[in-house]
Structure 1
Amino acid sequence: MKLVLDKKDRVADGVVLLTLRRPDGGPLPAWTPGAHVDLAPAGGPVRQYSLCGDPADTSAWKVAVLREAGGRGGSRHVHDVLAEGQHVEVSEPRNHFELVEAKRYLFIAGGIGITPVLPMIAWAQAAGRDWRLVYGGRTRSSMAFRAELERLAGVEIHPQDECGLLDLDAVLGRPSPGTAVYCCGPEALLLAVEQRCADWPSGSLHVERFSPKTVAAQSFSEEFEVELAQTGTVLRVPAGRSVLDVVQAEGVPVLSSCREGTCGTCETVVLDGVPDHRDSVLTPEEQESGDVMMICVSRSRSTRLVLDL
């Protein structure tokens, strides 16, 4: 859908907050905490950003964008080119970082990883839930939404130049049954949190990645077949080509965006066979079930997969 950039505000060093509305002022689709959208500004690359406003406000969507000097150009385009009043192509919201029901919530955010956590905290606060936020960043001035968060009880601000790295052993050293841990931030933080949650009850940890995680080399055959259940068509997926590439070349309409296993757009139902999951979206439990796969990166452990396409 085409939205107009209504406001562009600086909310921290190197971070701008975009407020997007329908040109006709009409309501936007509903979304839930943890959701993200694709932004495709004219002349700029498609990128995914977490919605960080109020889900109850259907008049506008808000996303915060960190300028990444070493990135691929998406954030530079937003900061340097995209201007108020311009129209932007924006996808429907998708959510692979949904809040689950829990007795209490522990939120851990690093840098711009605070964005999907903001509406989660607002929901937990309004619902009277037990929650805690541990928020780390390089400096106070680089931490988006810090001032408003500091007014809330349960928020711990840890600028690295003042406090050093987050003491994750103190935060996660003792498993807490009934606590749902939500973490978003740089890959080093996510890996460190995953390591410390290894002994927590299954399903406790929920993470969202900005970039694909490193997947160890697999011993499974690189060539396999996919059967498209809706037509009975059988296609060969050779080494070096993704399932997504093969089925789209056959003319099968499959939505996709990132093509690196981080956005969840190409999630496809698996009817038979054993996927070789290489995405950064599904939880270990979801991967173990084998019910769905991200066909832009994941492959097969079996000689044939039957997909609901």
Structure 2
Amino acid sequence: MIKTILLGSFILSSSFVFWMGLFRLSYHLLDSYFRRKKWQMSHHHIMNMCEAIVSGSQAIASSVCGVVVVLSCYHDVMWAVHPLASLYGLGASSYFIYDVVAMYEVYLSSLPEVPESFGKRVKGFVKRRTLLVLHHVAVSGFLFPVLVYRSGIGDFFVGCFFCVELSGPFTNMRVILSRLGLKNSRWYLVNGVAMILSFALCRVVVFPYMYLAYGGQYGLSILEVVQRIPLHCNIGCLLVLIPQLHWLRLMILGAVKMFSGKKLSESEEKID
């Protein structure tokens, strides 16, 4: 048990350093590039793009790990084991901690005048990004530890949860395209369609898929699966699904707004 805790702590801390280092490196490279090209790019927009680059990178890594785990464990959704399920669960937990820090720094960079009081800065940040902060804290503080320390069962479902990040590259690419002034381009439109489709498939449809996969193995209907599995599993899935439905709704409303010729605000573009 002690070895497991020490290994988990090492992976958490080292992966946090990796994500934060990638964020800093991205800023250095982008800032240098825009200076050489003499592009007028604000500090806030560069920070925003750096956050999107790291977020998109994590989404790709999570999706690849998820697909590997799902394909390896599909034959037995409860008892098949793959080491990536636990290992990347720890790395992903540290990412959500990092991302709260990154979002806070991006928020500060957007202010014309940063409050001197730390309490006021945090209060303003939480007020602006309430749902995302709560989502990240819940995932890093509760969901991923449950996924990692789960007595070695259900790696298939852990892989499915990793796959929800498949829409991440598209949500973050939208931010980058916007900051580069390409809101009216064909790329922005194509990326938006891909974002909505991947988000609906991997963050919403994935939940009934997991119930169907479990039911298919044991010959149960979805209703019977709901009644059979532990209550905390149903509640956990529901708590994760609800914000996904909210964000999918915002994406669809944003698409309708774009097709009607209106522009999206910064808050409408950043959906994670």
TM-score range (shorter-chain normalised) is under 0.3
- Greater relative contact order (CA < 8 Å, ≥ 6 in sequence): 2
| Higher-helix-fraction structure | 2
TM-score of the pair, normalised by structure 2: 0.27
Report the structure, 1 or 2, having the larger strand content. 1
Question: Scaled by the length of structure 1, what TM-score is found?
Answer: 0.24
